[in-house]
Amino acid sequence: MMYMILKAIFRRTALALLLCMPLLATAQAVKPAAPAAATAIATFGGGCFWCVEEAFDKVAGVISTTSGYMGGQLKNPTYPQVSAGGTGHNEVVQVVYDPAKVSYAQLLDAFWRNIDPTQANGQFCDHGSQYRSEIFYHDDAQRKAAEASKAALQKTKPFAGDIRTLITRSAEFYAAEDYHQDYYKKNPIRYNYYKTSCGRQARLQEVWKTQ
């Protein structure tokens, strides 16, 4: 009797597993693999990196921005060293972006609109080569795009004066100290006071003929 009961239980269990197996197999077969997001990097120097970081954070398709230093000779430079002007570094922002949402050409356009291209060795109230306007290209395609963008702007510019912005091969990037990252978010009162007193917005309106 016990043998017959166990045999019946075994048959029902086996049948249930058999009926479920196609469903499980089907569920596993159609489960898609998550595609890896494709990203790219662009690096720009446009004066105070606090302001450049804010500008690029507003661009749709930009994933992240990091303030830092590029273009100098000293390894692991600090802010006091760079700001003193003796290391050859430039204050830059490294931009990680999604090329499917924003093109490098669009990033170049955002860059131009947030600098004074006519000012050499500085931007707005910040003077010295550490604040120079500079496009650091990461590959040949970026170099060609930057050069084409600069040439086109030279023909259509709404401002007087030559374009003094440099186009340079990218070098080792050093992230700035933590307190510089997202400074405009962490210290909005101090940041807005600096931005206004430096005359950045007023000069941008003058250069680009905007209100």
Cα dihedral sign, 116-126-58-202: negative
Question: What is the Cα–Cα distance from 153 to 146, expressed in whole angstroms?
Answer: 11
Q: Is 48 a catalytic residue?
A: yes
- C-alpha span between 153 and 45 (Å, rounded): 18
For residue 103, give the DSSP letter.
-
The amino acid at residue 81 is Q
Residue found by looking up tokens 């259509």 in the block: 156
Q: Out of 48, 51, 125, 198, pick the active-site residue.
A: 48
Tokens representing residue 73 in the block: 């000779």
The residues annotated as belonging to the active site are 48
